[in-house]
């Protein structure tokens, strides 16, 4: 097996990874392929084991076959020769488990101790709960009561969103978990924080002399964050109809990206210092104080039947497992302000939606325009400078500036300098879950959300949800395949701005320098 060793990035003492929900979709699509990639890159060494846990009966052979099938389908590395597969597969075991039965956890403890002896692992245990949040509490209590948190090594709990449905439910969930685990042992995954270009925001800002001095309200006119999906609700209709875009995307992914863009430089490159700065941003968000403020600054949309790429698409209310009278939003747009000295007066426009024309996640930083009544501004329509950070599916950065058109007429045109991260790394760009699983195993919590971040985000979102309530009074329908309700465009037009095309679409005027 071709294994690249970088000793600074190897899990030195090893660990046992417990995957609760091991027969589920997340484990199949993300977790097993991520663990195989880490192994192929030499980051796990040989002192690790994975115990898959779920209700359904499986033999060890069946489980290992499932793992192999998931890697064949979803991993960025091909499984190599059979003997290489065998050396990896021996680290995997399966145990059927009723998570409400503490005796099963006692058996699991014995099995774990046997595995730790076999692989020379000193009691380090990472519990990954790929389960519904209402099961987190009982699993935590049974881990403790079954003796799995005894012993000498470290214990860490990794949990997936949604972390609650609102602030009270999140507080209840946190109370259950913190009765068993310390805050520093709880790793709340937001997979957007594992994405290459989201992590690159920090480096772009704090490692470049021509960005950081301009990163404030004196030089930036507005910031736009778009997270667009072409898909509908697919088979998630039952879950999505309870959640909606506000809870499913805005409370976590959108606000997390906003904190990365807006945070102050941390005093040290220490996970807690970085997370302190993110919390300060969330506390500085201007809360909507009234129904009127929500109506003025927030757009709530739901897709109706439409057409995308020549294909007819059903409306949201016609989707499987969705209430035919549903008022759940599939589009959320908002004008948000960060009330601190750096950002006072700069609008942040955020939008996320399903059944939009392009799948993309990107951040557009629009700089203030040059004076229009001085020198070149008198004769030419000068476009504003842009810095665009593309997070997904293309990863990269482009900077848009004004330059002279070739020839003697003296015209001015926008020029775009484009850097494509995906092209540089190729197909084997690390997946977000690889980074996050490895970070959790090393105890690096930088890109996980802390409880006070979660609480601050919910307190911002809850007032919007409360104003919306069960009524459809401000629900705007938009055809599937369009860019959402026209009210989202009006949010920017009121301030003299417009949404910039995403992924360089419709940039016919721009000359590209690649």
Q: What's the pLDDT score for residue 110?
A: 96
Cα–Cα dist 53/47, whole Å? 20
Q: What is the pLDDT of residue 430?
A: 63
CA distance 360 to 390: 8
The average pLDDT across 415-442 equals 75
| Residue showing tokens 């490159």 | 269
Choice between 479 and 398, residue whose per-residue pLDDT is larger? 479
pLDDT band at 407 (very low <50, low <70, confident <90, very high): confident
Averaged pLDDT, 80-84 = 66
Q: What is the pLDDT of residue 99?
A: 93
Burial 448-474 (b: 16+ CB within 10 A, else e): bbbbebbbbbbbbbbbbbebbeeebeb
Whole-angstrom distance, CA of residue 220 vs CA of residue 483? 25
Which one-letter DSSP state was computed for residue 59?
A: -
**What are the φ and ψ backbone dihedral angles of 276, each rounded to 5 degrees?**
-55, -45
| Percent of the chain surpassing pLDDT 90 | 64
pLDDT confidence of residue 196: 78
**Is the model's pTM score more than 0.85?**
yes
For 512, the token pair is 């590209």
pLDDT at 497: 95
Q: Are 475 and 302 in contact (CB under 8 A)?
A: yes
Domain ranges of the chain: 7-160, 193-513
Q: Which pLDDT value is given to residue 81?
A: 62
CA angle at residue 81 from 78 to 86, to 5 degrees?
100
| Contact (CB, 8 A) for 37 and 434 | yes
Compute the residue count for the chain: 514
Closest CA to 160 of 179, 182, 139: 139
Cα first-last separation, the chain: 36
Round to whole Å and give the CA distance between 409 and 405. Answer: 8
Read off the tokens for 475: 């629900």
Tell whether the model's pLDDT for residue 215 goes beyond 70: yes
**Mean pLDDT score, 347-351:** 98
Measure Cα distances from 510 to 384, 412, 504 in Å. 12, 11, 9
Residue 57 CB coordination number (10 Å): 8
pLDDT of 3 above 60: no
CA-closest candidate to residue 127, choices 115, 117, 112: 112
Q: Which of 36-45, 202-211, 279-288 has the lowest mean pLDDT?
A: 202-211
353 forms beta bridges with: 228, 331
Q: How many CA atoms lie within 13 A of 167 on its CB side?
A: 14
Range 457-472 average pLDDT: 90
| Closest alpha carbon to 463 in 302, 280, 251 | 251
Residue with tokens 């052979």: 61
Taking residues 464-493, report their average pLDDT: 93
Per-residue pLDDT tens for 219-246? Answer: 999 999 999 999 998 878 888 988 899 9
Of the residues 253, 270, 295, 498, only one is catalytic, namely: 253
Q: Cis omega before residue 63 (within 30°)? A: no
Q: Is 388 helix (H, G, I), strand (E, B) or coil?
A: strand
The pLDDT of 93-109, averaged and rounded, is 95
Give CA–CA dist 43/7, Å, rounded. Answer: 8
pLDDT tens-digit readout, 166-212? 999 999 999 999 999 999 999 999 887 878 778 888 888 888 888 88
| 281/2: higher pLDDT | 281
- Better-scored residue on pLDDT, 503 or 269: 269
Task: List all residues 6 or more positions away from 373 whose beta carbon is below 8 Å from its beta carbon.
Answer: none
C-alpha 192 chain-centroid distance: 2
Which strand (E) or helix (H) includes residue 365? strand 360-367
pLDDT for the residue numbered 471: 79
Domain 7-160 class?
alpha beta
Contacts for 508 with CB less than 8 Å, ≥ 6 apart: none
Quickly state the pLDDT bin for 380 (edges 50, 70, 90).
Answer: low
Is 253 among the catalytic positions?
yes
Task: With cut-offs at 50, 70 and 90, classify the pLDDT of residue 86.
Answer: confident
Q: Is the pLDDT of residue 416 over 80?
A: yes
**pLDDT tens digits for 118-173?**
999 999 999 999 998 889 999 999 999 999 999 789 999 999 888 989 999 999 99
For the record, the structure tokens of 199 come out as: 């992590």
- Determine the Cα–Cα distance for residues 76 and 167; give it in Å rounded to an integer: 38
Nearest to 320 by CA among 231, 237, 245, 244: 237
In this predicted structure, which of 1-5, 218-222, 346-350 has the lowest mean pLDDT?
Answer: 1-5
Q: Above 50 in pLDDT, residue 282?
A: yes
Mean local confidence (pLDDT), 275-302: 94
Decide if 193 contacts 385 (C-beta within 8 A).
no
Q: How far is CA 213 from CA 178, 383, 512, in A?
A: 41, 21, 26
Q: What is the pLDDT of residue 373?
A: 58
Two structure tokens written together for 476: 């705007």
Kindly compute the dihedral angle of the four CA atoms of residues 167, 227, 513, 409, in this order, to the nearest 10 degrees.
-100
Q: What is the DSSP string of 94-124?
A: EEE--TT-HHHHHHHHHHHHHHHHHHT--S-
CA angle 395, 401, 407 (to 5 degrees): 125
Tokens at residue 480, please? 């599937």
Strands 360-367 and 386-392: antiparallel
Which pLDDT value is given to residue 122?
92
Phi then psi for 363, rounded to 5 degrees? -115, 130
Comparing 424 with 108, the larger pLDDT belongs to 108
Q: Which of 101-115, 226-240, 248-262, 476-490 has the lowest mean pLDDT?
A: 226-240
Closest residue by Cα to residue 266 from 281, 254, 284: 281
With a cut of 70, say whether residue 267 has pLDDT above it: yes
pLDDT at res. 82 = 58
Kindly tell me if the per-residue pLDDT of 2 is higher than 50: no
CA geometry: angle at 467 spanning 282 and 292, to 5°? 85
Residue written as token pair 């484990």: 27
Q: Which fold has domain 193-513?
A: Dihydrodipicolinate Reductase; domain 2 (3.30.360)
């Amino acid at each position: 097996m071709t294994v690249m060793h970088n000793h600074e990035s190897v899990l030195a003492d090893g660990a046992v990874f417990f995957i609760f929900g091991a027969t589920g979709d997340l484990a199949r699509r993300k977790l097993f392929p991520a663990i195989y990639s880490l192994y192929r890159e030499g980051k796990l060494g040989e002192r690790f084991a994975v115990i898959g846990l779920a209700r359904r009966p499986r033999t060890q052979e069946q489980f290992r076959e499932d793992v192999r099938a998931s890697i064949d389908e979803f991993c960025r590395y091909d499984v190599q020769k059979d003997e290489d597969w065998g050396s990896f597969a021996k680290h995997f075991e399966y145990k059927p488990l009723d998570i409400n039965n503490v005796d099963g956890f006692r058996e699991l403890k014995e099995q774990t101790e046997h595995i730790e002896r076999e692989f020379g692992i000193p009691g380090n245990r990472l519990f990954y709960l790929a389960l519904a949040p209402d099961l987190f509490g009982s699993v935590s209590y049974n881990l403790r009561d079954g003796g799995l948190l005894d012993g000498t090594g470290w214990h860490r709990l990794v949990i997936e969103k949604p972390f609650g449905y609102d602030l009270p439910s999140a507080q209840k969930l946190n109370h259950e978990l913190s009765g068993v685990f310390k805050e520093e042992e709880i790793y709340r995954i937001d997979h957007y924080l594992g994405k290459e270009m989201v992590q690159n925001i920090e480096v772009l800002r704090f490692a470049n002399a021509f960005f950081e001095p301009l990163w404030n309200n004196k030089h930036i006119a507005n910031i736009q964050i778009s997270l667009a999906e072409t898909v509908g609700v697919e088979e998630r209709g039952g879950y999505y109809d309870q959640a909606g875009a506000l809870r499913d995307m805005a409370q976590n992914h959108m606000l997390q990206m906003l904190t990365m863009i807006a945070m102050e430089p941390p005093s040290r490159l220490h996970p807690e210092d970085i997370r302190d700065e993110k919390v300060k941003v969330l506390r500085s968000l201007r809360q909507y104080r009234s129904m009127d403020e929500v109506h003025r600054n927030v757009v709530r949309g739901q897709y109706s039947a439409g057409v995308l790429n020549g294909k007819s698409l059903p409306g949201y209310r016609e989707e499987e497992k969705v209430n035919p009278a549903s008022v759940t939003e599939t589009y959320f747009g908002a004008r948000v302000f960060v009330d601190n000295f750096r950002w006072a007066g700069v609008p942040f426009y955020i939008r996320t939606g399903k059944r939009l024309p392009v799948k993309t996640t990107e951040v557009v930083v629009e700089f203030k325009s040059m004076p229009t009544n001085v020198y070149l501004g008198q004769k030419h329509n000068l476009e504003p400078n842009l810095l665009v950070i593309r997070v997904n599916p293309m990863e990269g950065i482009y900077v848009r500036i004004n330059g002279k058109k070739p020839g003697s007429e003296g015209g001015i045109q926008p020029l775009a300098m484009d850097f494509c991260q995906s092209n540089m790394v190729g197909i084997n760009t690390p997946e977000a879950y690889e980074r996050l699983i490895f970070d959790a195993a090393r105890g690096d919590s930088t890109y996980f959300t802390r409880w006070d971040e979660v609480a601050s985000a919910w307190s911002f979102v809850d007032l919007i949800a409360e104003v919306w309530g069960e009524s459809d009074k401000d629900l705007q329908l938009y055809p599937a395949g369009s860019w959402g309700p026209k009210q989202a465009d009006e949010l920017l037009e009121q301030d003299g701005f417009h949404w910039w095309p995403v992924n360089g679409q419709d940039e016919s005027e721009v000359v590209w320098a690649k």
